[in-house]
Structure 1
Amino acid sequence: MESAIERMGILPVVAIENSADAGPLADALEAGGLPIAEITLRTQAGIDAIAALSSRDGFIVGAGTVHSVDQAKMVADAGASFVVSPGFNPRTVQWCLDHSMPIYPGVSSPTDLESAIEMGLTVVKFFPAEQIGGVKMIKTLQGPYGDMRFIPTGGINASNIASYLSLSSVLACGGSWMVKPELISSGSFDEIQRLTAEAVSSCRNNA
Structure 2
Amino acid sequence: MLANMEHEIYRQIEETKLLPLYTATDLSCLDRLEEILVRNEVRFIEVTFRSNLALDAIKKLAQSGELIVGAGTVRTLAEAKSAVENGAKFIVSPAIVPDVIAYCIERDIPVFPGTATPGDIQRATEYGIKVVKFFPADIYGGLKAINALSGPFYDVKFLPTGGINEENFMEYIQNDHIVAVGGSFIISESAIKKDDGKTADKILKTLVDKMRS
- How big is the shift at 1:26? 1.0
String of CA shifts for 1:12-43, please: whole Å, max 9, x gaps: 00011022221211111222231211111101
- Structure 1 stretch 120-129 or stretch 32-41: which is displaced more? 32-41
Corresponding residue for residue 206 of structure 2: 198
Match of 2:148 among 137, 140, 144: 140
SS in structure 1 opposite 2:74? coil
The AA in structure 2 aligned to 1:37 is: I
Change (3 A) 1:81 1:187: farther
- 1:68 matched to which residue of 2? 76
Contact preservation (8 Å) 1:124, 1:150: yes
Deviation at 1:97, TM superposition (A): 0.8
Instruction: Judge which range, 33-42 or 107-116, deviates more.
Output: 33-42
Q: Secondary structure at the match of 1:130?
A: coil
Aligned to 2:22: 14
Mapped partners of 1:73, 1:187: distance in 2:
35
Deviation at 1:128, TM superposition (A): 0.4
Call closer, same or farther: CA 1:185–1:42 in 2, change over 3 Å.
farther
Equivalent residues in 2 for 1:56-95, closer than 5 Å? 56-95=64-103
When residues 87 and 187 of structure 1 are mapped into structure 2, their CA distance, relative to the original with a 3 A threshold, is farther
Partner AA of 1:154 in structure 2: G
Q: In structure 1, what residue type is equivalent to 2:77?
A: V
TM-score by length of 1: 0.95
Whether the 8 Å contact between 2:18 and 2:186 is mirrored in structure 1 is no
Match among 168, 181, 185 for residue 173 of structure 1:
181
Matched, 1:53 2:41: no
SS at match of 1:125: strand
Rounded to whole Å, the distance in 2 between the matches of 1:17 and 1:37 is 15
Deviation digits for residues 161-201 of structure 1 (CA, Å, limit 9, x no counterpart): 11111211100000111323422344541111111111111
User: Does the 8 Å CA contact 1:29/1:192 hold for their aligned counterparts?
Assistant: no
Asked if 1 retains the 8 angstrom alpha-carbon contact of 2:49 and 2:72, the reply is yes
Q: Which amino acid aligns with 1:58?
A: E
Contact 1:33 1:196 in 2 (8 A): no
CA shift digits 1:66-125 (9 cap, x unpaired):
001000000000000100011111111111111211100100000001100111101110
SS at match of 2:113: strand
- Report the secondary structure of 2:158's partner residue: strand
Does 2:136 match 1:124?
Answer: no
Partner of 1:102: 110
Residue identity (%): 34
Aligned residues: 205
Query: Residues of 2 paired with 1:183 and 1:99: CA distance?
Result: 35
Gaps of 5+ in 1: none
What is the alpha-carbon distance in structure 1 between the residues aligned to residue 68 and residue 126 of structure 2? 28
**TM-score, normalised by the number of residues in structure 2:** 0.92
